[in-house]
């Protein structure tokens, strides 16, 4: 029987109410959660660790590194890992772990629930059971989110719904697999395939992230002076443009000046779209073309905003050399971008 390490971090799945009108708070341990799931101990030998017990709203990059440390320290002793996590920031953590632990032959699965384990109508039991089931399958590898019967690459998950059990969607990339009863149905020949040179190799593990990254969403009449105001606290901006890549010009060049000044100051600018599906193309409209060929501006293409945040933090945690930043940023990791 394979060994799986359950890494419990809190979230809705572990939450209970104080019964006096207070909100839900994570209190249950990983072992207590697993004890509520029928037949879980028949598919794997389970061990438990609890590096934190927090609402995922409070999950920070330093916590990603704690989870990474737990996995790396235990990597040789287990066949797979299941991270129990709150849903609100699960996509960020899944993306971050995809960059911090790359090319893992062993599956690292994140899951949680929309209802606490203690709820009479919870989705927590099935999500936890299916996550362990996926973690012990021979073809599973890398960082994934398993939720509501779907397996999503860790860099492609996006929380699409706040209440429904099918909370997560795989953005601009097919789900890697579906879980029906006890059967894993993999989508396409590429799912689970390992490059020959990586067979038997240890994962690539990285240290350090730059937390000084912010997402800036364009809205009508947002003043370009915001770029200068952000210089004190941030090293990189993920700029969510209009549509397929529209950035205002207003006829006075103020936006272009502000953006080029930001890049010229040695800071990083990543351009993406605030539209969730289908991605960015700066070359379509005149309002985007001014930035399309600037080597200091990185293009997010069809990546999720969550993955862009995590990847930019990871990249800037490794280097400040502009050429190396571009090389790392455009390197495909765990299906994070479609290369054309």
Domain assignment of residue 201, yes or no:
yes
The token pair at 210 is 């730059």
From 205, 230, 263, the end of a domain falls on: 205
What does the pLDDT average to over 21-43? 87
Pair 32, 67 in one domain = yes
Does residue 193 register a pLDDT over 70?
no
Pair 41, 133 in one domain = yes
pLDDT digits (tens, 9 = 90+) for 56-75: 999 999 999 999 999 999 99
From 205, 231, 250, the end of a domain falls on: 205
Pair 146, 261 in one domain = no
Instruction: Read off the CATH number of the domain in which 143 is found.
Output: 3.40.50.1170
What does the pLDDT average to over 188-199? 52
pLDDT digits (tens, 9 = 90+) for 239-259: 999 988 888 887 788 999 999
pLDDT above 70 coverage of the chain, percent:
92
Could you give the CA distance from residue 33 to residue 61 in angstroms, rounded to a whole number? 25
Could you give the CA distance from residue 223 to residue 296 in angstroms, rounded to a whole number? 22
Q: Supply the pLDDT for residue 88.
A: 96
Does residue 299 register a pLDDT over 80?
yes
Q: Supply the pLDDT for residue 327.
A: 97
What does the pLDDT average to over 85-101? 98
Domain assignment of residue 336, yes or no:
no
Pair 233, 301 in one domain = yes
Q: In what order do the strands lie in the sheet with 297-299?
A: 213-217, 236-241, 268-273, 297-299
pLDDT above 90 coverage of the chain, percent:
78
Pair 148, 248 in one domain = no
The token pair at 154 is 């860790």
Q: Which residues are catalytic?
A: 12, 87
Q: Supply the pLDDT for residue 122.
A: 96
Q: Are 69 and 90 in contact (CB under 8 A)?
A: no
Domain assignment of residue 97, yes or no:
yes
For 269, which DSSP code? E
pLDDT digits (tens, 9 = 90+) for 117-170: 989 999 999 999 999 999 999 999 999 999 999 999 999 999 999 988 999 999
Residue span of the structural domain in which 111 resides: 3-205
> What is the count of structural domains for the chain?
2
Instruction: Read off the CATH number of the domain in which 225 is found.
Output: 3.40.50.40
Domain assignment of residue 217, yes or no:
yes
Q: What angle do CA 41, 49, 105 make, to 5 degrees?
A: 75
> Do the strands 80-84 and 15-16 form a parallel or antiparallel pair, or are they unpaired?
unpaired
Q: What is the CB neighbour count within 10 angstroms for residue 324? A: 12
């Amino acid at each position: 029987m394979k060994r799986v390490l359950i890494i419990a971090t809190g979230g809705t799945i572990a939450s209970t109410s104080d019964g006096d009108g207070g909100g839900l708070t994570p209190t249950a341990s990983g072992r207590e959660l697993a004890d509520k799931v029928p037949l879980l101990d028949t598919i794997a030998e389970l061990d438990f660790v609890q590096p934190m017990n927090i609402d995922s709203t409070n999950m920070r990059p330093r916590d990603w590194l704690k989870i990474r440390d737990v996995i790396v320290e235990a990597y040789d002793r287990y066949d797979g890992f299941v991270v129990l996590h709150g849903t609100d920031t699960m996509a960020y953590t899944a993306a971050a772990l995809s960059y911090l632990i790359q090319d893992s032959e062993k599956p690292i699965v994140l899951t949680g629930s929309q209802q606490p384990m203690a709820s009479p109508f919870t989705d927590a039991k099935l999500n936890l059971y299916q996550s362990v089931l996926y973690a012990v399958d021979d073809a599973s590898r890398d960082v994934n989110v398993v939720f509501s019967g779907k397996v999503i690459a860790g860099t492609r998950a996006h929380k699409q719904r706040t209440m429904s059990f099918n909370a997560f969607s795989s953005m601009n990339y097919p789900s890697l697999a579906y879980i029906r009863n006890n059967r894993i149905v993999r989508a396409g020949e590429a799912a689970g395939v390992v490059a020959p040179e990586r067979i038997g190799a240890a994962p690539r593990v990285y240290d350090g992230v730059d937390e000084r990254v912010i997402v800036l969403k364009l809205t009508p009449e947002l003043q370009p002076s915001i770029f200068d105001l952000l210089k004190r606290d941030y090293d990189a901006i993920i700029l969510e443009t209009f549509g397929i890549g529209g950035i205002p010009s207003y006829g006075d060049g103020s936006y272009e000046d502000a953006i080029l000044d930001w890049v010229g100051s040695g800071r990083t600018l990543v351009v993406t779209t605030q539209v969730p599906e289908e991605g960015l193309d700066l070359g379509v409209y005149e309002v985007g073309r001014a930035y399309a060929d600037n080597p200091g501006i990185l293009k997010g293409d069809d990546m999720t905003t969550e993955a862009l945040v995590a990847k930019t933090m990871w990249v800037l945690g490794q280097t400040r050399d502009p050429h190396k930043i571009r090389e790392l940023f455009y390197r495909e990791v765990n299906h994070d971008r479609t290369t054309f």
